[in-house]
Amino acid sequence: MGVPLNQALRVGAYVVKQHLIGNKRYPLVLMLEPLFRCNLACNGCGKIDYPAPILNQRLSVEECIEAAEECGAPIVAIAGGEPLLHKEMPQIVEELLKRGKFIYLCTNALLLEKKIDLYKPHKNFAWDIHLDGDKEMHDNAVSQEGTYDVAVRAIKDAKKRGFRLCINTTLFDGAQPERVGKFIDSAMDLGIDGVMISPGYAYERAPDKEHFLNRQKTKELFRGIFRYGKGRKWKFNQSALFLDFLAGNQTFHCTPWGKPARNVFGWQRPCYLLGEGYTKTYAELMATTDWDQYGTGNYEKCADCMVHSGYEATAVMEAIKHPIKMAVSAIRGPKTEGAMAAEIPLDKQRPADYAMFSRHVEEKMEELATKSPKVRVTRSKAPEAFGAAD
């Protein structure tokens, strides 16, 4: 198991407590994005297509602490953008650890060797290194040669220094099960503590929209990977039922509130992947979001999503309700043969609203323009058309 025992026990106790007090919607992981600026421009990324004044925004240490305390999730995944570009990241991590949070600091590792001295190993802290496959797969996914070698060097260095370290792997159409399996073997040989693996979400703003997996291809790919991995003792930093869902054996509905996202716009509705509105507070997010509008079967933009942002929390809640099913799945591993579970029908989903992104960018730019005369705002549907002072 890639999840440390103290984390599994604390999160398990937290989930049981939420059920006992009758809380139907509660967060497991806060997805904290203190900035959108990145030092890469990956093909499948839908997070960095903003005008420079928005890319220059940062959540302060205080805002990050407030977000963690406000929502109360036991785990905080710090993503972005590239978190290591944030000058106050070491303080953010330190303050969150002081508050008893389990921290996963996601990074492409390009700056890790330079910045690692600013961090100390801690039982509740893990690096979460972005690695999308072997050298060719990864360098292609992040559109920059040499990044795989830098990441692997940084992984070896971090492990030598005693850090807990996981990898975060996103798969796209064309991934070959055996090749992905061999990549996981090689990552295990590096001594990593866990793998978090997921299909890429089809971001509407991603530069390459041709290579996202649909649900059927996702399930077939994961069955192939898990078939290859049988008996190999891979450590996943994900629940057994979520892996079984990826392999097509569970009909899960999305639980977007399980991983709420806070970024420079505010609290993002409904999830880390989709920006369909923002609120100032977590309480407002929970109270004003019509959750039934989202998830596969409810909304066109959710049709092919099988990402942990929405479905890991479903798997955890299912495990609490059906512990024997979870135990069987954990012992047996994901089922790789036989009929797949029924798919959610899409005939009643509402159509996608593609104007949202531009509206939010316009509103944010207007807000920034009132604060700084250097920011110029032009009304347009395309963010590229915003005049922006860097």
**Binding interface with ligand SF4 (CB under 6 A):** 254, 256, 270-271, 273-274, 294-296, 302, 305, 307, 309-310
CB of 73 to ligand SF4, least distance (A): 16
Element (H, E) at 357: helix 356-371
**Using CA atoms, how far apart are residues 385 and 366, in angstroms rounded to an integer?**
14
Cα three-residue angle 123-198-325, rounded to 5 degrees: 80
Q: What are phi and psi of 352, to 5 degrees?
A: -70, 145
Closest distance of CB 304 from ligand SF4, Å = 9
Closer to ligand SF4 at the Cβ: 237 or 296?
296
Distance of CA 343 to the CA centre of its chain: 23
Q: Write down the least CB distance from residue 276 to ligand SF4, Å.
A: 9
Element (H, E) at 164: strand 164-171
Q: Nearest distance from residue 255's CB to ligand SF4, in Å?
A: 8
Q: CB 85 → ligand SF4: shortest distance, Å? A: 25
- In the complex, minimum distance from the CB of residue 278 to ligand SF4, in angstroms, rounded to a whole number: 15
Tell me which residue has its CB nearest to ligand SF4: 310
**Minimum CB distance to ligand SF4 smaller for 314 or for 336:** 314
H helix or E strand, kind and range, residue 137: helix 135-141
Q: Which is nearer to ligand SF4, 294 or 357 (CB)?
A: 294
Q: Which two tokens stand for residue 262?
A: 């806070």
Question: What is the 3-state composition of the chain as percent helix, strand, coil, each rounded to the nearest 5?
Answer: 45, 15, 45
224 or 256, CB closer to ligand SF4? Answer: 256
Distance separating alpha carbons of residues 62 and 148, to the nearest angstrom: 34
Q: How many CA atoms lie within 13 A of 185 on its CB side?
A: 13
Would you say 273 or 368 has its CB closer to ligand SF4?
273
* Closer by beta carbon to ligand SF4, 34 or else 46: 46
Per DSSP, the three-state class of 105 is: strand
